Every structure is written in structure tokens, then in C-alpha cells.
């Protein structure tokens, strides 16, 4: 059986067998992997706190060619974000981030941008950036990485450029100017469109610039619905966030 190692974030853990766990890992080089951690449900086990949500670790694992599931033999914590992720005001935002990754990003989809995006969100969360702004930034970028983000510059119907206000199409696949809209309800004003454009070239550490210019809850709801529409699933973690109540 071949052995290898990889750096990865822990996206989720659940019981697999009487003494084992099923672990979902986001790697930089192989995308999301499903892994078995033998004996990790024992009171005394060799993994310790390695499988806390969004812990970044160095994992050694082996696999069989005929099986999708890899087996973790050992691991070492590289970065722990436990105190940031587990804070009561943060935890459900991070649950939603994990759920989006697990449901929306294909398994073993090799795109290093996903790994870098999660690292950026966690680092800025630890740095004190507001979680609603981080979640919004994350949703926009995960759509962009997966090729499902609309063009925030042009009307999808008449191709008018640099529009100042827009309505999101009912199929979420583009925006319409005032002349082209019909019964569309989801509205994006000038500042909303400017923010979406801004995210392409800027990191979330400067999100505070937009704190009084946009309504992050409004935009979070829009992009959450867009992800659900394209993915054909419901994001259950959102039920615990004020933005969706």
C-alpha cells in the first residue's frame, strides 16, 4: 500500500465504526478527501486534538487503488484555529463555511485557490475581522472559483457595461439592467456591485472599508441562495444565523 503525506484542513468528523472516525480533509494538492482515522474514538488515541474543525495539520496516510477512502496513520497539528472557530459568535458562520465546502466543491477537485481561500478566512477571523464580512467574501470567492459567479460589470441581456444597479436573474446566471428586468426581485445597488468587483483584487483584511456602505446580511442571503440553486441542496447551517431568521 502506498504511503504519502499532505497538508490539510479538517472540514468535518463523524463516527465511522465502533472506534474509528470518518474525516473530511481539504488538501492543497488533491482537493477534498475522505479519510478513516482508526482508533480515533478511543479515549486514549494517537490523534489528540488533530480533528477539531478547521485544524490545519500534516497528515500521513495510505490508500488502496480500488478504494475511495484513505486511511490516516498519523498527523501533526500545524495551526489550530480552535479559539477563533469555537467562539459562540463565530461557530455557526464556520459551520456554514464547512458545509458549503463539503456540498459545493467536488471531491478531489484540484484547485489550490480553495485551500488558500479557507486559509485567508481563518487568518482574518483570528485577526478580528467581522464574521459576516468574512462569510460574504468567502461565498463570492467560492462561486468565482467554481465558475458560477456572474459578471458584476455587464447586463447579461443587452450587454450594457458598467451598470450602477442591477437585478439578479431568476436563474442566478447573470444580472439585468433596469431596461431589461422583468419580474426579478433580487436587487444589487451601486455599492453592492462595487464591492463584488472589489473582492477580485483585494483581501478581506480591508473589508472594514465597506462596513457602512453595504448590507452584508442582504448580500449573504443572495449568494447563499445562488449556491443552493446551483448545487440543488439546502444549507442547513444557515438556520442558526441571524441573517436568515
CA 43 from chain centre, in angstroms, equals: 31
Q: What is the pTM of this model?
A: 0.94
pLDDT value at residue 40: 62
CATH superfamily of 87-244: Recombination protein O, C-terminal domain (1.20.1440.120)
Cα dist from 14 to 34, 52, 56, 221, whole Å: 11, 11, 18, 28
Parts of the chain belonging to CATH 2.40.50.140: 3-80
Superfamily of domain 3-80: Nucleic acid-binding proteins (2.40.50.140)
Residue 215: predicted pLDDT: 96
Domain with CATH 1.20.1440.120 in the chain: 87-244
DSSP string, the chain: --EEEEEEEEEEEEE-SSS-EEEEEEETTTEEEEEEETTTTSSS-TTTTTTSTT-EEEEEEE--TT-S-EEEEEEEEEE--HHHHTSTTTHHHHHHHHHHHHHHSPBT---HHHHHHHHHHHHHHHTT--HHHHHHHHHHHHHHHTT----SSS-TTT--SS-S-EEE-TTSS-EE-TTT-SS---EE-HHHHHHHHHHTT--GGGGGGGTTTS-HHHHHHHHHHHHHHHHTS--GGGGGSGGG-
- Residues in the chain where the model's pLDDT stays below 50: none
Please report the pLDDT score of residue 68 as a whole number: 79
Q: Report the distance separating Cα 201 and Cα 144, nearest Å.
A: 12
- What's the grid cell of residue 187? 436587487
* CB contact at 8 A, 40 and 27: no
Amino acid at each position: 500500500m502506498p504511503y504519502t503525506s499532505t497538508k490539510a484542513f479538517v472540514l468535518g468528523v463523524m463516527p465511522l465504526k465502533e472506534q474509528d472516525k470518518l474525516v473530511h480533509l481539504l488538501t492543497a494538492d488533491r482537493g477534498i478527501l475522505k479519510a478513516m482515522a482508526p482508533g480515533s474514538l478511543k479515549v486514549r488515541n494517537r490523534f489528540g486534538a488533530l480533528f477539531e474543525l478547521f485544524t490545519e495539520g500534516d497528515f500521513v496516510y495510505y490508500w488502496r487503488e480500488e478504494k475511495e477512502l484513505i486511511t490516516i496513520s498519523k498527523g501533526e497539528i500545524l495551526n489550530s484555529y480552535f479559539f477563533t472557530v469555537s467562539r459562540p459568535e463565530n461557530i455557526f458562520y464556520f459551520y456554514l463555511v464547512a458545509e458549503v465546502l463539503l456540498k459545493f466543491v467536488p471531491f478531489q477537485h484540484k484547485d489550490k485557490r480553495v485551500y488558500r481561500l479557507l486559509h485567508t478566512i481563518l487568518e482574518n477571523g483570528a485577526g478580528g475581522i467581522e464574521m459576516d464580512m468574512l462569510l460574504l467574501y468567502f461565498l463570492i470567492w467560492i462561486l468565482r472559483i467554481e465558475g458560477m459567479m456572474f459578471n458584476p460589470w455587464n447586463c447579461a441581456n443587452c450587454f450594457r457595461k458598467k451598470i450602477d444597479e442591477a437585478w439578479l436573474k431568476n436563474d442566478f446566471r447573470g444580472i439585468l439592467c433596469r431596461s431589461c428586468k422583468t419580474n426579478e426581485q433580487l436587487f444589487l445597488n451601486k455599492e453592492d456591485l462595487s464591492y463584488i468587483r472589489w473582492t477580485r483584487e483585494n483581501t478581506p483584511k480591508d473589508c472594514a472599508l465597506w462596513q457602512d456602505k453595504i448590507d452584508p446580511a442582504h448580500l449573504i442571503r443572495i449568494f447563499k441562495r445562488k449556491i443552493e440553486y446551483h448545487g440543488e441542496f439546502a444549507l442547513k447551517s444557515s438556520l442558526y444565523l441571524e441573517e436568515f431568521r
